[in-house]
Chains A and B, each alone.
Chain A
Amino acid sequence: MAQVEAAGGGLKAPIRRTGRFLSEAAPPTLALFLLAAGWEALVRVRNIPPYLLPAPSAVLLRLWTDGPGLLAEGVFTLMEALAGFGLGSAAAIVAGAAMARWRLLERSLFPLAVLVKVTPVVTVAPLFIIWFGFGLLPKVLIAALITFFPVLVNAVTGLKAVEPAALEFFESVGASGWEILLKLRFPASLPYLFAAFRVSVVLGLIGAVVAEWLGAERGLGRAVLLANQNLDMAGLFAGVFLLALCGVGLTGLIRFWERQLLFWHESFLAAEELAERGKL
């Protein structure tokens, strides 16, 4: 009896999850469809010229015909953004660990990092083009620079957000500063790091696109810029649509990774519990 019930529960859970996904995805999909329909009607009824606003059908057609080409450019931009994000995050975590380890370093540099975090650093992009040319490097570096500061600030905050009793336990068993960093501070900082990753990964994409605008041989940013210069609005919207997909993909990747690593954290436990009670 108990076994039958358990098996039933095992089957029911994925179905329930799919059902939840459908009920969550249906309203925005419907809204998007209605929006596109209204837009299409507006363009047709008002006879708006395509160099001002293309109809969604024209954008879709463009995606169909130019899709493979645009997709190749998209992969290029995605690589720039991901490489920059990886580089910037890794550097930020190392710098954050150093700051958490040496108070003087933190006291002198952390306020500056907070300041730079709220500065739109993308504005220094032209300088990077002058320094590093039109190749891949300046794009990656700009994406890395944008990623760096939000991750650094959260890393420093997270590395210090440990339970005092846990720290005391590590001390009481004679753990070294290095072991405390690796086995306590770093895992404890993961929720903070992922909060920063979710923001930074999209910022990195913006950085790569802006860098491409300033001079590039490949990439979706460059494709969008060219379309704009040629008053090819359907091409521009097709590019923006693909960039949006890139953003969704990158955020999804971070979310997935977060789910794997942070199963123990309150944010997920709370969500799980609500789901159990059928409230989500």
Chain B
Amino acid sequence: MTGPLVEVQGLIKGFESSAGHLLVLRDLTFRVGAGEFVAVVGPSGCGKTTLLRILAGLLPPSGGSVAVAGCDPRLARREKQVGFVFQTPALLPWRTVLENVRLALEVNRVSRPALKPEDLLELMGLAEFADYYPHQLSGGMAQRVALARALVFDPKLLLMDEPFSALDELTRSAMRYELLRVWEQTRKTVVFVTHSIPEAVILADRVLVLSRRPAHLAGELVVNLPRPRTEDMEDSVPFQEAVRWLKLRLRAAA
């Protein structure tokens, strides 16, 4: 692990609207090391998606400084250092799985990508489904396609916004370990927003707790579970303790 890949210093974000000024993020400071898996939890509407959009360079901060891979997030995005997985897969229904994964390459006229879309599908266990259309996929498969699509430029940073929240509990649990397997192989830096505390604990090296809006850092927990993570760790004492501690923190922050 080298220096931090994401460096957020005194981040402030407000929205101006007809209803007036809305302060969403207040003086947020944290770092994410290269190769680290960080989960973010916080009350609904506190600004988690806003934070990810700022990290992705899709939204300018109102104050403070944000650096991704040492530069402005917008520059990092232009240089394809950032991949984004949304809450819904948002695949194009008129394109096959493979064509959906290729979309970003087409838009950027890349003919020889760092990672071949076919190989990414293989990695996601979707090799046989390359020619399927999104309506022929299950929700979990669609979200795996979205993950493959986000990885196609081999970005350093992967931002995930509640990617499994639309799935049923069993699929959701399977997807966590699927993501961990992919992460073990690629070692991306991940910022993962979730509403589920157990999910945050089983996935992450570190969990950030945001307060209710305007959000600031209300707590931080280093997860002391060995890697690779397995399902039976969910019954272990350190896991249970981490979950309990985060629950208390979140309740106090909400």
Contact = CB atoms under 8 A, between A and B. Distances in A.
A66 interface: no
B134 A264 contact: yes
Nearest to A269: B135
B222 interface: no
A24 interface: no
A170 B88 contact: no
A183 interface: yes
Interface in A149-193: 163, 165-166, 168-175, 179, 183-184, 187, 190
Interface residues of B, number: 23
Interface string B99-139: 00001101110000000000000000000000001110000
A163 B90 CA distance: 7
Contacts, number: 50
B247 interface: no
Given A166-B92, A183-B107, A187-B92, A174 B135 contact: no
Nearest to B87: A165
Most chain B beta carbons < 10 A, residue from A171, A172, A183, A263: A172
Contacts of A175: 107
Nearest to A190: B94
B71 interface: no
Nearest to B83: A172
B94 A173 contact: no
Give the size range of A's interface with the partner: 20 to 34
Interface string B49-73: 0000000101000000000000000
A168 B86 contact: yes
A168 B108 CA distance: 16
B121 to A, nearest CB: 18
A265 B93 contact: yes
B77 interface: yes
Interface SS, A side: helix
Contacts of A184: 92
B37 interface: no
Contacts of A269: 135
Contacts of B88: 163, 165
Given A179-B107, A184-B92, A174 B86 contact: no
B84 interface: yes
Contact of A170 (B78, B87, B107, B135): B107
Contacts of B90: 163, 165-166, 168-169
Most chain A beta carbons < 10 A, residue from B56, B78, B104, B133: B104
A264 B132 CA distance: 11
Contacts of A165: 86-88, 90
22 contacts: A163-B90, A165-B87, A166-B90, A166-B92, A168-B86, A169-B86, A169-B149, A173-B103, A173-B104, A173-B107, A173-B108, A179-B107, A187-B92, A187-B94, A263-B133, A264-B93, A264-B94, A264-B133, A264-B134, A264-B135, A265-B93, A269-B135
Given A170-B107, A172-B82, A173-B108, 17 more contacts: A163-B90, A165-B87, A168-B58, A168-B84, A169-B84, A169-B90, A172-B58, A172-B77, A172-B84, A174-B108, A175-B107, A179-B107, A183-B106, A187-B92, A263-B133, A264-B133, A265-B93
The 5 closest A-B pairs by CB, nearest first: A165-B90, A173-B104, A264-B93, A166-B90, A165-B86
